[in-house]
Chain A
Amino acid sequence: MFQVVEGKILANTQIGQDLYLMEVEGSFQVKEGQFFMLKAPQREMTLFRPISILDCQKDAVSFLYSVRGKGTGYFSTMKVGEKMQLHGPYGNGFPKVEGSLALVGGGIGMAPLLLTAKNHPGSKVFIGIRENLYTAEEIQRIKDLFSSVDMTLKIGGIVSDIVDFDDYETVFACGPEVMMRAIAQQHSNCYVSLEKHMGCGVGACLSCSCKSGGVMKKVCQDGPVFLGKEVF
């Protein structure tokens, strides 16, 4: 059964100017590439917000989120010890694959790649961030977040320029749509993780629909991960 739970915030640290790392207490069974619906119960919020899982420990789940609007703005003001409301995890997540694997993230699209890389030993992570967005100290924090996996950071330009796609049997991508589209066109075995505004997270409201393989799918329940060539 699904349920809404309240979890104590164990950490809510600013990583870069718009980038925050939140850790919420709780014991969850998650799969890489899934997300939770999150809400700050004491703030004026109507909808939960879908946020990707960065990592999961025995007694906590962590999220890397960027402040985009009102909801994530509230999240950034939450203090350690306050409670978050959450339900999930939802979505299919990234598939378990054998063989060489490249994980390519653009901006906040890096979030679901940490746990995915951890669960795919030998995989290589490539993350692109905008130039002049973060200080040297902030860049170091991003590198530290990914220190347990093989990660290459590209600052400015196009992250896929540093990936030789022929070297990999499978590619996972998450980031701006133009980036994912371009990668999906270069590599036929590419899985992309889509981002959409969501209302319910459980497939009831049809706010997050997309077309995959010619049929309507729900990003929240059928995705967020789709075969690139079927959605682009």
Chain B
Amino acid sequence: MKQKVFGKEFKNIVIGASGTFGFGREFDKFYDISILGGVSSKGLTLNPKEGNTGIRITETPSGIMNSIGLENPGVKSFLAQELPFMKSKNLVVIANVGGSDLESYVEAVRLIDDHAKTQEGVDIIELNISCPNVKQGGMAFGINACDAERITKEIRKTTTLPLVVKLSPNANHLVEVAKAVEAAGADGLSLVNTFSALDIDIHNKKPVFDNIYAGLSGSAILPIALRMTRDVCKNVKIPVIGMGGITSAVDAIKFVMAGATLVQVGTGNFVNPMACYDIIKGLEDYFVKENTTVEEIRGII
């Protein structure tokens, strides 16, 4: 199942998804995470962030909603405190980066890029363009193709590291955003991030989340995420990392058949802390039993 993607060797196609896998340490207590293809860090911003107030997670039918608000220690602390452990696990380390405006994205990526120039650093940047742009009324960068292209271009100029752009399923036209990001120089795409959603506490007569809307993920979104992954894969030439409700090897195979080169497991890690481990074993069994390879089944649908 070994894959060379973005010039990096992945032991297999499974990556722990940003925001659900901490900095790897947390799940390394359940199993040795060096079996993974890669880990995408908790979303990082230039400066530390405390995240949102109020309830941050609830369960929905077959899924969850979250409104963490990008709580993170900031890029500098990540590089000093968390990255060495991730690198020690001999897997592909992906830094997921967010921001509140163009400048803060650029500065965060610059710090990661500079660090990687002088030592064993981050392998891949995953650009989270679902963050609201505070300078443009809070609309996320990933909603329309023009904004997505502009930020991708700026980040492309800032780093020579492989650049994967994580797409928002809330985009006005997802395929247009994907094509614009590809044209702007991204090396790959990852999708989908969470779906904007609402829950209401009928007793308090208030939204459950202080931010009103929160992100829906988990099994509930899988069929939609799968359709979106296929749509995007049919329209771009760069590799796509598929995700959205993967909790089993069967789910992961569906994303590969829809065109994904690699997959990420997010909410699945909460459903079953051994999810990534079980998925890798399940994939190994599948490819042996079916006498096939990732390459043979990729994009066959």
Q: Residues of A with Cβ closer than 8 Å to B?
A: 1-4, 44-48, 69-71, 87, 197-200, 202-209, 211, 216
| Contact flag A1-B29 (CB < 8 Å), given A46-B64, A47-B64, A200-B273 | yes
Q: A46 touching B51 by the CB < 8 A rule?
A: no
Q: Which of B54-62, B113-121, B134-142, B190-198 contacts A (4 or more CB under 8 A)?
A: B54-62
> In chain B between 1 and 37, which residues have their CB closer than 8 angstroms to a CB of chain A?
19-22, 25-27, 29-31
Partner of A46, one of B31, B270, B273: B270
Cα A211 to Cα B25 in complex, Å, equals 22
| Contact flag A203-B59 (CB < 8 Å), given A46-B219, A47-B64, A48-B270 | no
Q: Is B183 among interface residues, defined by CB-CB distance under 8 A?
A: no
> In chain B between 192 and 227, which residues have their CB closer than 8 angstroms to a CB of chain A?
218-219
Q: A203 touching B61 by the CB < 8 A rule?
A: no
Cα A68 to Cα B90 in complex, Å, equals 43
Q: A4 touching B272 by the CB < 8 A rule?
A: yes
17 cross-chain CB contacts under 8 A: A1-B29, A3-B30, A44-B62, A46-B64, A48-B270, A69-B59, A197-B55, A199-B64, A200-B270, A202-B30, A203-B22, A204-B20, A204-B21, A205-B22, A206-B42, A209-B50, A216-B71
Cα A70 to Cα B60 in complex, Å, equals 10
Q: Looking at chain B's contact residues, is the secondary structure mostly helix, strand, loop, or mixed? A: loop
Q: B56 touching A204 by the CB < 8 A rule?
A: no
| CB-defined contacts of B68 to chain A, threshold 8 Å | 205-207
| CB-defined contacts of B42 to chain A, threshold 8 Å | 206
Min CB–CB distance B82 → chain A (angstroms): 12
Min CB–CB distance B32 → chain A (angstroms): 9
Q: Looking at chain A's contact residues, is the secondary structure mostly helix, strand, loop, or mixed? A: loop
| CB-defined contacts of A46 to chain B, threshold 8 Å | 59-60, 62-64, 218-219, 267, 270-271
Min CB–CB distance A227 → chain B (angstroms): 20
Most buried by B among A44, A198, A205, A216: A205
Most buried by A among B30, B55, B58, B59: B59
Q: Which residue of A lies closest to B58 (CB)?
A: A197
Q: B273 touching A202 by the CB < 8 A rule?
A: yes
Q: A2 touching B59 by the CB < 8 A rule?
A: no
| CB-defined contacts of B301 to chain A, threshold 8 Å | none
Q: Is B66 among interface residues, defined by CB-CB distance under 8 A?
A: yes
Q: B27 touching A47 by the CB < 8 A rule?
A: no
Min CB–CB distance B234 → chain A (angstroms): 31
Q: A204 touching B66 by the CB < 8 A rule?
A: no
Min CB–CB distance B295 → chain A (angstroms): 32
Q: Which residue of B lies closest to A211 (CB)?
A: B50
Q: A208 touching B56 by the CB < 8 A rule?
A: yes
Cα A50 to Cα B62 in complex, Å, equals 19
Cα A69 to Cα B60 in complex, Å, equals 11
| CB-defined contacts of B30 to chain A, threshold 8 Å | 1-4, 202
Q: B269 touching A200 by the CB < 8 A rule?
A: yes
Cα A46 to Cα B61 in complex, Å, equals 8
Q: A204 touching B27 by the CB < 8 A rule?
A: yes
Q: Is B146 among interface residues, defined by CB-CB distance under 8 A?
A: no
Q: Is B274 among interface residues, defined by CB-CB distance under 8 A?
A: yes
| Contact flag A2-B271 (CB < 8 Å), given A204-B21, A205-B20, A209-B56 | no
Cα A79 to Cα B57 in complex, Å, equals 28
Min CB–CB distance B268 → chain A (angstroms): 10
Cα A48 to Cα B269 in complex, Å, equals 11
Partner of B26, one of A70, A197, A200, A207: A200
| CB-defined contacts of B269 to chain A, threshold 8 Å | 200, 204
| Contact flag A202-B27 (CB < 8 Å), given A46-B270, A46-B271, A216-B50 | yes
| CB-defined contacts of B64 to chain A, threshold 8 Å | 46-47, 199
Per-residue 0/1 for B91-115: is the Cβ within 8 Å of any A Cβ (1 yes, 0 no)?
0000000000000000000000000
